[in-house]
Amino acid sequence: MKGWRGVIEQYRAFLPVTAKTPVVTLFEGNTPLVPAPRLAEATDARLSVYLKCEGFNPTGSFKDRGMTMAVSKALESGSRAVICASTGNTSASAAAFAARAQIRAFVMVPRGAIALGKLSQAAIHGARVLTVEGNFDQALAIVRQIAETHPVTLVNSVNPFRLEGQKTAAFEIVDQLGRAPDYHLIPVGNAGNITAYWRGYREYHRAGLARELPRMVGFQAAGAAPIYENRVIEEPRTIATAIKIGNPANWGPALEAVKDSRGWVDIVTDEEILGAYRMLAREEGIFMEPASAATVAGLIKSVKAGRFEPGSTLVLTLTGHGLKDPDTALESASRPTTVPARLDAVLAQLGL
């Protein structure tokens, strides 16, 4: 078969797989790197801005890159079940890849804090979904205990294979752009992805496939900013549920990525996130979920603060698709107007 066959086949040489690893894939990866001229114009026309649209993965988020690795390695080790705690996208991806592998998936989601689309995905793929009366961090503590004492594989980003798969996004960016960007902007929740990208850029650099290394810039929601505030947030709050995390599992490695790359971590408010969310949809035609828009909000804030060298190339990771969270979209835009089925009434409403 010709063409793209998923991130494991594409980047096999950089991944901990052998000829014996049963590859479980939905042909994830190969997502578009889209130029964002209007975003650059609206912020600083001297910047080149590109959007890595990870919402276009098979289950609608970057989690698929990690899940193809985690589920393939789980199968290789003889496991017949996976478990995760999730703000939504991990459970959607785990459920889909478990279905593909014909093994069981158990997912724990925090009550009331998960977008409708994500919940529907876990359900339709046949996962056993439990709504935990608590937050993400509590759910993660429970599944970690279960995985230690029962024959189920933990597929949260504490599973080392997750980050191995996710680092392929950095490889793709270099392959698409012909170089590494000067800055890489990314939302930070459990902090696995920023860690994975930095690893990916460094490995490509070491292999002689990228001459430069980007500065890694992470954005947290103001109400859920443990790394920025340097303290655990007991009750994180933000509309961007995918990054509503108060005690990130990859805290240390993420800080290292930021320090090693001479980057930084900043915060954006929910208001800034929603503004960026609408702007991205209206000005660039790209519909991503609120957590992804945190990156765009971060771009706007950082440009205002004059943090980028003029002439720089920036890549922003847009982590998940907007259709995941239709409620927020409808609340953020004007509602349809109902009209009688008559030409004059329609024309009057359209102002034509």
Ligand X SMILES: *Cc1c(COP(=O)(O)O)cnc(C)c1O
193 binding ligand X? (CB under 6 A):
yes
Q: Name the DSSP class of 215.
A: E
The answer to the question of residue 187 lying near ligand X (CB under 6 A) is yes
Kindly tell me which of 153 and 157 has the beta carbon lying closer to ligand X: 157
| 25/190 with CB nearer ligand X | 190
For the CB of residue 292, give the shortest distance to ligand X in the complex, in Å: 6
Helices (H), the chain: 7-10, 37-43, 63-76, 89-101, 116-124, 136-149, 160-166, 168-177, 192-206, 226-229, 251-260, 270-283, 290-304, 326-332, 343-350
Least CB distance to ligand X at residue 303 (A)? 21
- Say whether residue 319 binds ligand X (CB under 6 A): yes
Contacts with ligand X in 88-107 (CB under 6 A)? 89
DSSP letter (8 states) at residue 16: S
Instruction: For residue 315, give the H/E element and its range.
Output: strand 313-318
Instruction: Give CA–CA dist 93/67, Å, rounded.
Output: 7
Closest distance to ligand X from the beta carbon of 69 (Å): 14
Of the CA atoms within 13 Å of residue 14, those in its CB half-sphere come to: 25
Contacts of 33 (CB under 8 A, 6+ apart): 50, 51, 52, 53, 172, 173, 176, 177, 315
Which of 90, 302 has the CB closer to ligand X?
90
Nearer to ligand X, 44 or 60 (CB): 60
Segment interacting with ligand X, rule: CB under 6 A, options 40-48, 184-192, 267-275, 332-340: 184-192
Q: If binding is defined by CB under 6 A, does position 157 make contact with ligand X? A: yes
Structure tokens belonging to residue 95: 């459920």
Q: 292 or 302, CB closer to ligand X?
A: 292
Q: Looking at 95-103, 167-175, 190-198, 307-315, which segment touches ligand X (CB under 6 A)? A: 190-198
State the residue number with the nearest CB to ligand X. Answer: 320
The identity of residue 260, as a single letter, is D
The only residue of 10, 25, 31, 61 in contact with ligand X, by rule CB under 6 A: 61
Treating both helix axes as pointing N-terminal to C-terminal, what angle do 116-124 and 89-101 enclose, rounded to 10 degrees?
20
Q: Which residues bind ligand X (CB under 6 A)?
A: 61, 63, 89, 157, 187-193, 242-243, 289, 291-292, 319-320
